[in-house]
Structures are given as structure tokens and as C-alpha cells.
């Protein structure tokens, strides 16, 4: 045996996931992987690929550039955030060569392990070829490509369409979802829509505001307690987790969970079991968890304020909701929607925003996001009295008072 053979590094056995809607393509790849004594797993689309990667059994992903449920660029971004250790290779349909997707750029892959792809691809697409650069910026959708809004939501900006698409993609599954975004962007609305679109829609939807519960009461509120478990526990009580059994649990403002509760919540996420305070019994709980926060959990992990293992458990499928100022095309649409709904509730005849008022709404920065917009419209509707439409002078932002408000105070 030569020294070079002795010193040669041992090749580790890697499991490769092949994601493609084409069963013939998957079959060819798996056969050639098997011929090289390589482990192979297949998935028919992006959502299925994410579920397989979550199990932690695959280190390499081979992606067809055309998937039935998710754009490749979006799928790669999710994998980069959630599974940075996975090697992602997107196939170049024109030449049958694998490409490594790195920081949004496609680079030819020199790894000989993946040269086996070429023959498989050529065997199934000798004529029509897909886009050779699937990770490039996708073309703007036209009206025919509009995605139906989620229940209870409005707006058709590109960022909202992305949220609609991701929610509809993950809703049928049991995957834990992490919703991030500024206060007032509608994270709870998205969570409710996710629940309504899931197989659990006829089961409980339970919300826990982690910021509103004092730490001494949080464990009892989450897990419940038996009679006599502590002073004042005169009768047993179900915890929110047990109430959510069979349904969905929303952990709102999860970044405010104290470290002691983070460990206990992690055990539930890992084992699906809870213990009520004062009880030796273990209860199996089947509840899908959605977490929401306006905090940067990744930064909190680095600062030691949030457990990294809990973070990775919660961020299986992250969905970010952009602030209202980043999607100005939704402002007037939402404003008109709130005006219509509030006019009906208040029995008002006002149903329109004047062009000047619409422009004023678009110019505002909306630090309070959608929640602030609703409050502004409600105030404007009251101040407009019997006018035909909302005018700029009826609009006021936060604590600032409009001229009409000052006049009303003077009259009072």
C-alpha cells in the first residue's frame, strides 16, 4: 500500500435528497447513486424536500429547476437560513450540469460526485429545456398569476403574495412555523389563516401572549395545575397546551419567554408531553405550534437571551412579514377596506377616501403598521362627521392632533 493511499482522506458516506416533480428523473438519479453506494432519498416538491431535510438525514440536495409548489430561489433561501450545512445543487437544465447555489449566485460544480446527473437529465429532456438560471430574480407576476389572499387578509404586494404562497404551502403539514415582523404587521392574522387552512381548522386555536404573562404564572398558564399544587390552587385547571390539543397553539411574542420556561417549552416540542403542576402524570399533547415575535431571535441567541436549541425548533419554517412602509401599494387598499368595514359598524354613509387623503396615507411612514392604519381610519371617520369622503384634514398620526381635532376640543 502506498503512502498516498494511506494518507488519502476517507470519504464520508453522504445521503443525497433528489427533489423533482419528474419521477423518471428521480429514478435515474437514485439508480446512479445506488450504483456508487450512495444513499438517496426522493421528494416530489419543495415542501416535501423541506420536511425531509428537517429530519436531518440528508447532507446534499439536488434540485430540479422547476418545482410544482415553490420557486427554487425561495426554497434555496429557506434552506440557507434553516439548514446552512446542507449543500444545495440546482440543475442547469440546458447542459445537464449541476450548479452550486451560493449567496444567490450559480457556480458550476466541479464535484465529480454529481457528474452522474448529466446522463439522467439528457435522457429525459432532449428538446424543450427549462431556464438555465433558476436562482435568478423571477419575473414579475401578471394578473393571471395572482395568489388568493389568506382568510382575513388583504393586499397584493409582492411581499404579501410571498407570505400567501408560503402559508398555503406549509398549512397542510404539521411543521412548526415562526412568524417574524414588526409590531402591528398582522402576525396573528397570518397565524389564524394558517390554522384555518390546515386540517386542524375545526379544532381549537389558542393564543398565548408571552409578554403579558408574569413569569411566576407562566408555567401554570401553559401546563396547567392540579388542585393544591400551590397556595391558591383550589381547583385543578387545564393549561393552554392541553386546551390546544388537536388544534393550533400560537406563542405570541415568544422572544419574551424567560429562559426557565424556554427549557420546559423545548421539552414539549421535542417529546410532545407535558406535566401539570402538582401531578406526577405525563400527558401526551398533539398541538401544532406557531411562534410569533417582533424580536431578532438569532441575535438574542448570540447574546445568550434565547436558547439556540429552542430557536431551531421554532424556526423550522420561518415566514417574515414586511412592514407596511415596505409595501406602499397595499396602503390605500387596506385603508379603503377598514373604511368600508368601520362605516358599516358605525352606520356611517362615508365610503370613500379623497385622492388627497389617499396620497397622504401613502406618504406616511406607518411606524405602527396595519394596526396604526386602522386606528387612523377610525379617527378620520369620526372626525369627518357627515362629509361625503375622508379628507387629509381628518387624518392624524399617533399622538399628533389634526386641525379638526383641535377645533372639536375647543368647541367642547
* Domain contains 40: yes
Residue 256 sits in the same domain as residue 369: no
Residue 302 sits in the same domain as residue 350: no
Residue 170 sits in the same domain as residue 287: yes
* Domain contains 394: yes
SS3 316: coil
- Residue 56: the pLDDT is 79
Work out the pLDDT band at 192, boundaries 50, 70, 90: very high
* Domain contains 139: no
Domain boundary among 290, 320, 350: 320
* Domain contains 131: no
CA dist 53 and 47 (Å) reads 10
pLDDT digits (tens, 9 = 90+) for 276-321: 777 777 889 899 999 999 999 999 999 999 999 999 999 989 999 9
List all residues 6 or more positions away from 307 whose beta carbon is below 8 Å from its beta carbon: 259, 262, 263, 266, 301
Domain boundary among 320, 348, 366: 320
Domain boundary among 320, 338, 362: 320
Residue 334 sits in the same domain as residue 300: no
pLDDT digits (tens, 9 = 90+) for 42-94: 888 777 788 788 777 788 888 887 776 667 777 787 888 778 888 888 875 44
Copy the grid coordinates of residue 120.
439522467
pLDDT at 120 over 80: no
Residue 261 sits in the same domain as residue 288: yes
Highest mean pLDDT among 89-93, 129-133, 222-226: 222-226
* Domain contains 316: yes
Residue 120 sits in the same domain as residue 202: no
Instruction: Report how many domains make up the chain.
Output: 3
- Residue 228: the pLDDT is 65
Averaged pLDDT, 333-360: 91
pLDDT at 218 over 60: yes
Contact by Cβ (8 Å): 330, 155: yes
- Residue 379: the pLDDT is 94
Percentage of the chain lying above the pLDDT 70 cut: 77
- Residue 362: the pLDDT is 93
Residue 166 sits in the same domain as residue 315: yes
- Residue 216: the pLDDT is 75
* Domain contains 145: no
pTM of the model: 0.65
Work out the pLDDT band at 108, boundaries 50, 70, 90: very low
Q: Strand pairing partners for 292?
A: 179, 252
Residue 341 sits in the same domain as residue 397: yes
The enclosing domain of 111 has a CATH number of: 3.40.50.2300
- Residue 92: the pLDDT is 57
Residue 316 sits in the same domain as residue 336: no
| CA terminus-to-terminus distance, the chain | 100
Residue 246 sits in the same domain as residue 289: yes
pLDDT at 101 over 60: no
Contact by Cβ (8 Å): 290, 149: no
> What is the chain's Cα-based Rg?
26
Average pLDDT of the chain is: 78
Work out the pLDDT band at 9, boundaries 50, 70, 90: very low
* Domain contains 84: yes
Percentage of the chain lying above the pLDDT 90 cut: 39
Averaged pLDDT, 144-151: 70
Domain interval for residue 306:
150-320
Averaged pLDDT, 346-370: 92
Residue 154 sits in the same domain as residue 286: yes
Averaged pLDDT, 176-196: 94
Taking alpha carbons only, the member of 65, 74, 27 closest to residue 47 is 74
The enclosing domain of 383 has a CATH number of: 1.10.8.60
- Residue 207: the pLDDT is 93
The enclosing domain of 286 has a CATH number of: 3.40.50.300
> What does the DSSP assignment read for 37-74?
T-EEEEESSHHHHHHHHHTT--SEEEE-S--SSS-HHH
- Residue 251: the pLDDT is 95
Residue 384 sits in the same domain as residue 242: no
* Domain contains 132: no
Copy the grid coordinates of residue 207.
393564543
Helix (H) or strand (E) holding 369: helix 369-383
pLDDT digits (tens, 9 = 90+) for 313-343: 999 899 999 999 999 999 999 999 999 999 9
Amino acid at each position: 500500500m502506498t503512502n498516498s493511499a494511506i494518507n488519502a482522506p476517507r470519504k464520508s458516506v453522504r445521503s443525497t435528497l433528489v427533489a423533482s416533480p419528474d419521477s423518471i428523473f428521480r429514478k435515474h438519479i437514485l439508480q446512479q447513486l445506488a450504483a456508487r453506494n450512495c444513499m438517496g432519498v426522493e421528494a416530489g416538491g419543495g415542501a416535501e424536500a423541506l420536511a425531509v431535510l428537517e429530519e436531518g438525514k440528508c447532507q446534499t440536495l439536488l434540485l430540479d429547476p422547476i418545482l410544482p409548489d415553490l420557486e427554487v430561489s425561495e426554497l434555496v433561501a429557506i434552506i440557507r437560513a434553516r439548514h446552512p450545512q446542507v449543500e444545495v445543487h440546482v440543475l442547469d437544465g440546458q447542459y445537464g450540469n449541476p450548479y452550486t447555489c451560493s449567496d444567490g449566485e450559480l457556480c458550476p460544480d466541479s464535484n465529480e460526485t454529481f457528474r452522474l446527473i448529466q446522463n439522467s437529465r439528457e435522457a429525459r429532456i432532449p428538446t424543450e429545456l427549462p431556464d438555465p438560471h433558476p436562482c435568478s430574480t423571477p419575473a414579475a407576476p401578471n394578473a393571471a398569476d395572482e395568489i388568493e389572499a389568506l382568510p382575513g387578509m388583504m393586499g397584493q404586494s409582492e411581499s404579501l403574495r410571498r407570505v400567501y404562497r408560503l402559508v398555503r404551502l406549509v398549512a397542510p403539514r404539521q411543521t412548526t412555523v415562526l412568524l417574524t415582523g414588526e409590531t402591528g404587521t398582522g402576525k396573528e392574522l397570518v397565524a389564524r389563516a394558517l390554522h384555518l387552512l390546515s386540517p386542524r381548522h375545526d379544532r381549537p386555536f389558542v393564543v398565548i401572549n408571552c409578554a403579558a404573562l408574569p413569569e411566576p404564572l407562566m408555567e401554570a398558564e401553559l401546563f396547567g395545575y392540579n388542585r393544591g399544587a400551590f397556595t391558591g390552587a383550589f381547583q385543578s385547571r387545564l393549561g393552554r397546551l392541553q386546551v390546544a390539543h388537536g388544534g393550533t397553539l400560537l406563542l405570541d411574542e415568544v422572544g419574551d419567554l424567560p429562559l426557565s420556561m424556554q427549557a420546559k417549552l423545548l421539552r414539549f416540542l421535542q417529546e410532545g408531553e407535558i406535566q401539570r403542576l402538582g401531578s406526577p402524570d405525563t400527558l401526551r399533547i398533539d398541538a401544532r405550534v406557531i411562534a410569533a415575535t417582533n424580536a431578532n431571535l438569532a441575535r438574542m441567541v448570540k447574546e445568550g437571551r434565547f436558547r439556540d436549541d429552542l430557536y431551531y425548533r421554532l424556526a423550522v419554517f420561518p415566514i417574515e412579514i414586511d412592514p407596511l412602509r415596505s409595501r406602499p401599494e397595499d396602503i390605500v387598499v387596506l385603508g379603503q377596506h377598514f373604511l368600508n368595514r368601520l362605516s358599516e359598524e358605525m352606520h356611517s354613509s362615508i365610503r370613500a377616501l379623497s385622492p388627497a387623503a389617499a396620497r397622504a396615507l401613502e406618504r406616511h411612514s406607518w411606524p405602527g403598521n396595519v394596526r396604526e392604519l386602522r386606528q387612523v381610519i377610525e379617527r378620520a371617520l369620526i372626525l369627518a362627521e357627515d362629509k361625503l369622503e375622508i379628507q387629509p384634514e381628518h387624518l392624524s398620526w399617533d399622538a399628533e392632533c389634526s386641525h379638526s381635532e383641535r377645533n372639536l376640543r375647543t368647541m367642547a
